[in-house]
Amino acid sequence: MDTLAWLLLALPLLSAATIHLGLKKLQNVSALVSTAVAGAILFITIFLISSETTDVSFSWATLPDIEIEIGLKLDSFAKNMMLVVTGVGFLVHLFSLAYMKDDSAKARYFGALSLFMFSMTGIVLASNFMMMFVFWELVGLSSYLLIGHWYEKESAADAAKKAFLTNRIGDFGFMIGILMLWGIAGGTSAALTFDGISEFFVGKPEYSPFFLGTAVLLIFMGAMGKSAQAPLHVWLPDAMEGPTPVSALIHAATMVAAGVFMMARLYLSIGTETIEALWGVNTIPWIGGITSLLAALMATQQDDIKKILAYSTLSQLGYMVMAVGLLDPNAGMFHLFTHAWFKALLFLGSGAVIYACHHEQNIWKMGDLKSKMPITTVTFFIGTLALCGFPLTAGFFSKEGILEAALHKNMALFVIAAFVACLTTFYMFRLFFIAFLGKNRSEKAGHAKEVGVLMLIPLIALTVMALFSGWNPIGANLSPLHNEFYFHFGPALIASLLSFAIGAFFAWKLYFNAEKDPLADNKIAKIFRNKFYIDEFYAKLVTYLQDAVAAVIHFIDELVIGGLLVGGFSRAAGGVGRIFTRMQSGNLQAYASLFGLGVIIVIYLTVFVS
Amino acid sequence: MPAHWLEAYVVLAGIVLLMLEAFLPRKEKFLIACLGIGALVFGLVLLFWAEAPENNKEMTRFYAWDSQAKFFKGFALLAGIMTLTLCLDYRKILAKFTANPDSDDSTGEYYCLILFAVAGMMWMASAKDLVSLFVSLELTTITLYILVAYMRRNVGSLEAGVKFLILGAISTGFLVYGISWIYGATGTTSLAAIGETMSEENSTFLLFGLALILISLAFKVGAVPMHLWIPDVYQGAPTPTTAFLSVASKASGFAVALRVLQPFFENSITAEKTTFIVAVLAGATILVGNLAAIPQTNFKRLLAYSSIANAGFILLGIAAWNSKGDLSAFQVTGFYLSVYFLMTFAAFFILAAIHRDSGSDEIAAFEGLGTRNPALAFLTTIVIGALAGLPLTAGFFGKLFAFQAAVGASLWIPISLGFVGVAAGFFYYFKIIRAMYWRKSLKTSPVKVRPLSFYVIAVLTGLIILLGFFPQPILWLLGA
Amino acid sequence: MSVIFVLIPLLAAIAIFSGVKARLTALIASGLILFLGLGSVFCWQADVWSISFEVLATPSIHLAMGFYDGISVIMLLLSVIVLFAAILHGGAPEGREKLWYASSLLIGAGAIGAFLSTDLFFFYAFHELALIPTFLMIGILGKGERKEAAWKITIYLAFGSIVLLAGLLWLVNASGSESWLFKDLLASEIDPEAQKGIAVLLIVGFGTLVSLFPFHSWAAPAYASAPTPVAMLHAGVLKKFGLYGLIRFYPMVSEGMQDWLGLLIVLLLGNILWVGFVTINQKRMDTLLGNSSVMHMGYIFLAFAALIEAGSASANTIAIPAAVVLMFAHGISIAMLFCLSDSIQKRTGTLELADLGGLAKAAPKLAFLFGLAGMASIGLPGLANFSGEVLVFLSGFESYKGGPLGCVQVATILALWGVVISAVYMLRAFRKTFQGPAVKNSTGVADLTFMEKMPAMILAAALLIVGLYPNSLLSLLEGCGCQVSSDATEQSDN
Amino acid sequence: MASLNDYLFVSGLLFAIGLGGVMIRRNIIVIFMCLELMLAAANITLVAFSRLHISANGLPDYDGQVLVFFIITVAAAEVAVGLAIIVALYRARQTIDVEDLTSMRG
């Protein structure tokens, strides 16, 4: 059993390594190996879920007083999360086989995909924070590699860099948080592990709410980076430069959800009662809420099909963070679980559309896809419904949970959440109306035809999950925190239904059969379209705060430290030397006089100074 | 054989060679140098058989025979041998500025004079009475006046000679005046007796006399404030003379200084003041020597400043006479001088070789040596490294012992000045290395070194490296 | 026995000077000691390795070599690996093979000698021996503004060496030890007043050799103009001498160091943040790498600061292993970067970032290896530098037990920002060089040949092994500094 | 009768005059004469001290007077060599003014 668990890590790593080292030239073999491994770990995961497991570990770094472990924490939380990762992962691999069929660097792509599977598995199964951090950074790397898959494109290369750097900023806080938490929890080897932390806090220890709160907030900074919460959200939309299956897997379903997963882990380890009393933790749901609101507003005016989905992802991640922040990790994780399926579905659907439309991504240049790609259209529509929380789809159940949580804890956030739900319906239906219905508006879209079986299988499989993953038997057994849905009739339900209706109505009103965007000239819409100018602001920040400061420091460094300070010493020595050589005038009488002076000094020093 | 016969032997050898010189054909004058080398080598052999002149009562009053005397006698002999060897390859240049520029005709006396100077130095090594000290010191100095001004068709040499003469004579004046005061205060000229008769009352007069003698000795070793003659005289004098001055003359100056200072250091009345004044001289000398060397562009002049700087380090070791360290002041001085002997002669041999090629003593003459004669450049690098005091060369241990002794005596200020000096030393010594390797020369023709010079340089460098790994042999010689 | 690690390259250098085939001899010699070095990992505790021969009675100096503890083994490993890679990389200009390979071997021999010496004198002396060929090589066969760079490094390092020498002499003197052997020195005690002075001299002296801020100006120009093997050997190996020395002598001056903790923290933050920003502004790959190597020294000093704060090796058991692992990792990664940047220059003829672009298309292997090394240097997990850095950060928080942050913790936090800075410049460089559309001088160039790939592969393997399983190094450090630290605790208890 | 102090005063004065002359005069021959004055000053001191120290048998201590003879001899040798050099200098440069001897400096 232990070995089987290790295989979850070993197989993808092995696959990534062999592809990189040996199989680069055999493109198709690489693709198949990678896919086979993804399938294999899906099976292992299913097997592990259905059996009793014990945690395993080995020592990674042994020091006299402390030991850092690589350990697998095989509780059902992790195992079920693994199901999401491997399930979506395997389907994306399948989809990629078709989608990347003609790519010249297929091997590199699948190698990176395997590397991602390896890293993501590591995050999910990590038994301690150090290990989680290790894999946390590694998913960042694989994300970097995959976003920059088409690195010859300036925009792709820049987006990859941006993603990595933004995540680094998050990780900066994450690491500090880990270190502080480690210190607060006793500074022992155990204090790094989740088990150790929960044991420590069960014992009702003495700690400062301020510093523990700070630690939690700093750890949350890591989640902000990875789960793209404002103000570190800017990388995610840009990350859409990567191949679309990657967007589905990494930037929608799994990696970006890792932040939520990690926060849930943290909250469960420390205990929500302890967390509640800490300093500053109230900011967390607000950050989630604001992110979801901003992202939803931005999404309403995007024209790129992937960008719309990306902002929608941001918005949904904000939901999840909000739920966790409101001390209801269950709701957050449930939404993570359902969202993974239907968002992957939407992305793969958009991938199919883009593939069919010869890499056209602007929805205004599509239209009437329903008649050309009927199956895709149906699956995409079901995904849309699930995302909008149409009753009895997966999204309905999980969104309900979040609204419920907000309702009980924070009224303002509940209003925001409801409004976001309304916006979600609005922009998704806008997308659907423009791209799939109406009239065909471009030649590329005109030539579109239904994609092949290899792409349809994942779509259909995900459609099933998008429909049913929220239902009690599935949710209770397979979602990470075993969420069972209880039906409450109350404000949350009304808000949910109402916002769906309002959003759908306005979308229909404005965009059904629209030829061009009726809001194109609206000033407020323009702000939304330009993402509140946050990217521009950051670009200025980088230019002035970082590059300009760097230039100034470099200048001072060369001038003052290199030139004056040290050069000054040698010049001073040389100057004194020149004074001494000036005494060496060559004139005999001057020498004799100096002799005389010297004699007087020496006699004075010898005889008269005591 | 009584030890004082050695000096007599060397003087006699000098006179015999001087007479022989008159009968030698014009082209064969270099034979005098060869014979001189032979005579000195034989003297070195005799040194091993020498014994104390104990049965001679008058002699024992003036003449010391101990390990210090033995060491400095051997040192003088070896320095004479090296100088004469250097002359062999330098004699063409020497001859160029004499009465008969095209022949060796007027070079013969030069070699003999070196023998006389060596004899004087050997006597200085043993002088333990102010009278014998004065006479032997003057024997050396007067000989050196001639040696410096020997190239009498060369303005530089003459100018150097006059400067040396006048300033040297001033220093002689200080010496005798100082001696007279010490004599006045104690009523004796014997150094041993000075220590015995020292008391609180006469210590002021004694110190006055000591100050004057110190001035004169500072002149001899080239310490501040009497260092002013060094750069000019070193630069103007014929290169063998410069080498001889900077090694042998300096060493005998230190030999005398050790003898003169001994009673003052070892008597509790004057120990503190003596330490103070010597330490002040040491600090000032290190500082001036090293810093003034930085702007130099002439290699010979650079070596002159370097010799001032080295005198400062030796003075530092002497100032630490009453140090808690393991080595006596004599041992520190002796070790430093031995190392200095190797490095300085190697440097002057190199300088002579470069001079013969380019006719210039400037540092610029070294440019491109790295490609024009890689072997010589390599050896030069080691020598320069040793002068700068790099470890794994003998030069490091010289400075190390001096510093160690000074640390034992807690002379913190001179020590810090010493480190400033070493740092500055890196700066100017490496200018040579920079010139050799990094700069392109206008000339590309290979630099030819005569085999004799080359082998001497190689042996000296070999010793520098060997002693850098294993310095114990010199300490054995010094009786540690 | 361990003297063979010095003798083999030394003799090979002499043989090369006297006319034996340069590259072949150098390869055999460095390969041999690489082999021996790897072998010695398994048996370094055996007595046969140590030798001791008295070269001077007063003061008592020995030609003593051997593995003093696990740190020496790791430093030896680093030296032999980088030396072999540097020799293998080669690249000697026509007609200068002798000088090229002999100097590389001499630098290697000096570095190994310094790390294996168990006597203070030879510890210091071997380092100087390695410096001379470094200076000469930069001056003679360097690129770009080689003369200024060589002069600068000479002056700086000479200055550092002298300050260091002053500190070491004072240390020996104050200790009253019978000999200059490490074991005697470390067993003796030093008066706290003297410790204070010695400590600052050691920090400045060793610090200059390690390019501690503000004595760092020599490093970037020197590495930029140095011939590749010299840059690899100096930045990778020789520079670590200063840190090695600080760790080695720390127990003797642990109390004195306390007074300088604040200063050291300011300086190391200067390395990380100040130089970090300087690095961001670099326009050339070589100066960028040079500055980055200066910057990363700050992290090792951070571990050292944590050690100082704790007061002894046993009070913070993470600090020394952290520093040592990071030294090893940084040495390997920076050597690899210099090695590969030379390959870039050979292909494109420039290292000006503005003139580069899209190289990955034509040279994917080069891009991959460079990316690996670059990622290693910015601390990506799975590669050696991360193992070191994470231990450094842990050591910084070792003394944190909840409550307000101490100065070392604040320093650690600021140092963590340096991780972001290093990602900024390294990714920028990678982005400019390898990604984007291919520019003219990057199109149609050949990818790495097998021989060019080999040195980078060897270094990459070391990075991966230590990165994936740091215990491979840490196991060598078991009990390191403990016999010393127990003394130190007794001292501080008294 | 003149006391010891008178002798010492005179000799000191003589020494100072000699040193001052060396510093001030430009002609090398005159400088050389001034140097001889310094030696003479030392001689006077020595003889005076020799008279001060009366040995056991009632005679002055002759060590000092012996030294005086040595000094006179050495001074003679010095003058011989010195004048020869000065003559050589005059033949080469047609001057014996110290102001002209500054080709080496710095």
pLDDT tens digits along B155-169: 889 999 999 999 999
Instruction: Indicate if the pLDDT at residue C491 is higher than 50.
Output: no
Amino acid making up residue A112: A
Q: Say how far apart CA C338 and CA C456 lie, in whole Å.
A: 10
Q: Say how far apart CA B285 and CA B317 lie, in whole Å.
A: 13
Whether A585 has its CB under 8 Å from any CB of chain D: the answer is: yes
Q: Say how far apart CA B24 and CA B12 lie, in whole Å.
A: 18
Q: Which of the residues D14, D65, D78, D99 would you substitute to probe the B interface, choosing the one with the greatest number of B C-beta atoms within 10 Å? A: D78
What are B275-305's pLDDT values in tens digits?
Answer: 999 999 999 999 999 999 999 999 999 999 9
On whether the CB atoms of residues A448 and A373 are closer than 8 A, the answer is yes
Q: Is the ipTM reported for this complex over the cut 0.95? A: no
Instruction: Indicate if the pLDDT at residue A438 is higher than 90.
Output: no
User: Do chains B and D have 3 or more beta-carbon pairs under 8 angstroms?
Assistant: yes
Q: What is the mean pLDDT of chain C?
A: 90
Whether C400 has its CB under 8 Å from any CB of chain A: the answer is: yes
> What does DSSP assign to residue D41?
H
Confidence (pLDDT) at B277: 94
Which H or E run contains A493? Answer: helix A491-511
Confidence of residue D1 (pLDDT cuts 50, 70, 90): low
On whether the CB atoms of residues A308 and A343 are closer than 8 A, the answer is no
Q: Which among C226, A413, D90, C176 is positioned nearest to B162, based on CA atoms? A: D90
Instruction: Compare all CA atoms of chain D with the CA of B209 and give the residue at the minimum distance.
Output: D42
Confidence (pLDDT) at C57: 83
The answer for residues whose C-beta is within 8 angstroms of residue B338's C-beta and 6 or more apart is B75, B394, B474, B477
Instruction: Indicate if the pLDDT at residue B127 is higher than 70.
Output: yes
Instruction: Compare all CA atoms of chain C with the CA of B430 and give the residue at the minimum distance.
Output: C154
C-alpha to C-alpha distances, A32 to A23, A100, A107, A115, A520, nearest whole angstrom: 11, 12, 10, 15, 46
- Among the partner-chain residues B161, B181, B231, the one whose CB lies closest to the CB of D45 is B181
pTM for the structure as a whole: 0.91
Neighbours of C27 (CB within 10 A): 17
Given an 8 Å threshold on Cβ–Cβ distance, is A602 in contact with B277?
A: yes
Given an 8 Å threshold on Cβ–Cβ distance, is D19 in contact with A587?
A: no
Q: Say how far apart CA B286 and CA B415 lie, in whole Å.
A: 10
Confidence (pLDDT) at B145: 96
Put residue A425 in one of left, alpha, beta given phi > 0 → left and psi -120 to 50 → alpha. Answer: alpha
Instruction: Compare all CA atoms of chain A with the CA of C320 and give the residue at the minimum distance.
Output: A63
Confidence (pLDDT) at B480: 65
Confidence (pLDDT) at B357: 87
- Residue C59: asked if its preceding bond is cis (omega within 30°), the reply is yes
Given an 8 Å threshold on Cβ–Cβ distance, is A161 in contact with C427?
A: yes
Given an 8 Å threshold on Cβ–Cβ distance, is C475 in contact with A62?
A: yes
What are C127-186's pLDDT values in tens digits?
Answer: 998 998 999 899 888 888 888 888 889 888 988 998 999 999 889 888 888 889 999 999
- What tokens does A482 get? 């075993």
The strand pairing partners of B190, in sequence order, are B129
State in Å, rounded, how far the first CA of chain A is from the last one: 89
On whether the CB atoms of residues B44 and B153 are closer than 8 A, the answer is no
Amino acid making up residue A469: S
- What tokens does B225 get? 């404030």
Contacts of B480 in chain C (CB under 8 A): 57-58
> Any alpha helices (H) in A126-193, and if so which ranges?
129-147, 154-184
Lowest average pLDDT, out of A445-454, B398-407, C196-205, C242-251, goes to A445-454
Contacts of D70 in chain B (CB under 8 A): 131, 134-135
What are A248-261's pLDDT values in tens digits?
Answer: 999 888 999 999 99
Q: Within its chain, how far is the Cα of A512 from the centroid?
A: 34
On whether the CB atoms of residues C330 and C307 are closer than 8 A, the answer is no
Confidence of residue A448 (pLDDT cuts 50, 70, 90): confident
DSSP characters over A43-66:
HHHHHHHTS----EEEEEEE-SS-
What are B410-463's pLDDT values in tens digits?
Answer: 889 999 999 999 989 988 998 898 889 888 877 788 888 999 999 999 999 999
- What tokens does B219 get? 């002149």
- Read off the pLDDT of each residue in C40-64 and give the average, rounded to a whole number: 86
Contacts of A61 in chain C (CB under 8 A): 387, 391, 470-471, 474
Confidence (pLDDT) at C297: 95
Confidence of residue A443 (pLDDT cuts 50, 70, 90): confident
* Percent of chain A scoring above 90 in pLDDT: 62
Confidence (pLDDT) at A1: 62
CA distance D31 to chain B (A): 8
Instruction: Indicate if the pLDDT at residue C479 is higher than 80.
Output: no
3-class SS letters over A245-290: HHHHHHHHHCHHHHHHHHHHHHHHHHCHHHHHCCCCCCHHHHHHHH
Contacts of A181 in chain C (CB under 8 A): none
Confidence of residue B393 (pLDDT cuts 50, 70, 90): very high
Stretch 250-289 of chain C: residues touching chain A, C-beta under 8 Å = 274-275, 277-278, 280-282
On whether the CB atoms of residues A554 and C287 are closer than 8 A, the answer is no
On whether the CB atoms of residues C125 and C77 are closer than 8 A, the answer is no
Neighbours of C449 (CB within 10 A): 10
Q: What is the mean pLDDT of chain B?
A: 91
Which residue bears the tokens 């990955």? C360
C-alpha to C-alpha distances, C222 to A124, B195, C114, nearest whole angstrom: 46, 59, 22
Q: Say how far apart CA C65 and CA C70 lie, in whole Å.
A: 14
What are A206-223's pLDDT values in tens digits?
Answer: 888 999 999 999 999 999
Confidence of residue A607 (pLDDT cuts 50, 70, 90): confident
- Read off the pLDDT of each residue in A43-48 and give the average, rounded to a whole number: 93
Instruction: Indicate if the pLDDT at residue C485 is higher than 80.
Output: no
Q: Say how far apart CA B241 and CA B148 lie, in whole Å.
A: 6
Q: Which among A124, A8, A1 is positioned nearest to A51, based on CA atoms? A: A1
CA distance D2 to chain B (A): 17
Surface-to-core class of residue D97, CB atoms within 10 Å of its CB (0-12 exposed, 13-18 middle, 19+ buried): exposed
- Read off the pLDDT of each residue in C285-291 and give the average, rounded to a whole number: 94
On whether the CB atoms of residues A436 and A370 are closer than 8 A, the answer is yes
Confidence of residue C483 (pLDDT cuts 50, 70, 90): very low
Q: Say how far apart CA D1 and CA A38 lie, in whole Å.
A: 125
Which H or E run contains C63? Answer: strand C61-65
Q: Is C325 helix (H, G, I), strand (E, B) or coil?
A: helix
Chains that touch C (3 or more CB pairs under 8 A): A, B
Given an 8 Å threshold on Cβ–Cβ distance, is B291 in contact with A584?
A: no
- Among the partner-chain residues B390, B438, B475, the one whose CB lies closest to the CB of C147 is B438
* Percent of chain A scoring above 70 in pLDDT: 99
Q: Say how far apart CA A178 and CA A306 lie, in whole Å.
A: 34
Confidence of residue C482 (pLDDT cuts 50, 70, 90): very low
> What does DSSP assign to residue C355?
G
CA distance A569 to chain B (A): 11
Confidence (pLDDT) at B269: 87
Length of chain A: 610
* Percent of chain C scoring above 70 in pLDDT: 97
User: For residues A342, A344, A346 and A350, what is the CA-based torsion angle, rounded to 10 degrees?
Assistant: -170
